[in-house]
Amino acid sequence: MDVVVIETPQLGDRSYLVHDGSVALVIDAQRDTDRVEEAARTAGVRITHVAETHVHNDYLTGGLILARAHDAKYLVNAADSVAFEREPIADGETVQIGRLSLRAVATPGHTHTHLSYIVTSDDGDQAVFSGGSLLYGSVGRTDLLGPAATDGLTRDQYTSVRRLAEEALPEAGLFPTHGFGSFCSAGPSTGAGASTIGEQLASNHALTDPDPEHFVAELMANLAAFPSYYAHMAPINLTGPEPADLTLPESLEPAELTDRLAKGEWVVDLRRRMAFASNHLRGTVSFEYGSGSSFSSYLGWVLPWGEKLTLVGSREDLQNAIRDLSRIGIDRPDAAVGTDPSALAPGVPVASYPRAGWAAVVHDKLAEETVLDVRRADEFAASHVAGAVNVPLHELLGRLDDLPGGRIWVHCASGYRAGVAASLLQRAGRDVVQIDARFREAAAAGVPMSRQGQVRDPDVKGEE
Q: Report the alpha-carbon distance of residue 4 to residue 17 in Å, rounded.
A: 5
- pLDDT tens per residue across all 464 residues of the chain: 999 999 999 999 999 999 999 999 999 999 999 999 999 999 999 999 999 999 999 999 999 999 999 999 999 999 999 999 999 999 999 999 999 999 999 999 999 999 999 999 999 999 999 999 999 999 999 999 999 999 999 999 999 999 999 999 999 999 999 999 889 988 766 778 899 999 999 999 999 999 999 999 999 998 999 999 999 999 999 999 999 999 999 999 999 999 999 999 999 999 999 999 999 999 999 999 986 678 999 999 999 999 999 999 999 999 999 999 999 999 999 999 999 999 999 999 999 999 999 999 887 666 679 999 999 999 999 999 999 999 999 999 999 999 999 999 999 999 999 999 999 999 999 999 999 999 999 999 999 999 753 333 333 222 22
Q: What is the assigned CATH class of domain 355-450?
A: alpha beta
The Cβ-side half-sphere exposure at 58, using a 13 Å CA radius, reads 31
Which residues does 343 contact at the CB level (< 8 Å), separation at least 6?
254
Burial class (CB in 10 A: 0-12, 13-18, 19+), 413: middle
pLDDT at 365: 63
> What stretch(es) of the chain map to CATH 3.60.15.10?
2-239
CATH 3.40.250.10 domain span(s) along the chain: 254-351, 355-450
Alpha helices (H) along 5-58: 34-43
Q: What is the CATH number of domain 2-239?
A: 3.60.15.10
Of the candidates 46, 51, 48, 57, the one whose C-alpha atom is nearest the C-alpha of residue 16 is: 51
Q: Are strands 173-176 and 195-196 parallel, antiparallel or unpaired?
A: antiparallel
CB distance 177 to 13 below 8 Å = yes
What is the model's pLDDT at position 249? Answer: 96
Q: Determine the Cα–Cα distance for residues 439 and 442; give it in Å rounded to an integer.
A: 5
Residue type, 293: S
- Number of neighbouring beta carbons within 10 Å of residue 299: 26
What pLDDT is attached to residue 292? 62
Instruction: Quickly list DSSP for 274-293.
Output: HHHHHSEETT-EE----TTS
Count Cβ atoms below 10 Å from residue 214 Cβ, excluding itself: 12
Class of the domain covering 254-351: alpha beta
Please, are residues 456 and 371 in contact by the beta-carbon 8 Å criterion? no
Cβ neighbours, 10 Å, residue 95: 18
338's CB contacts (< 8 A; 6+ apart) are 251, 312, 313, 314, 344
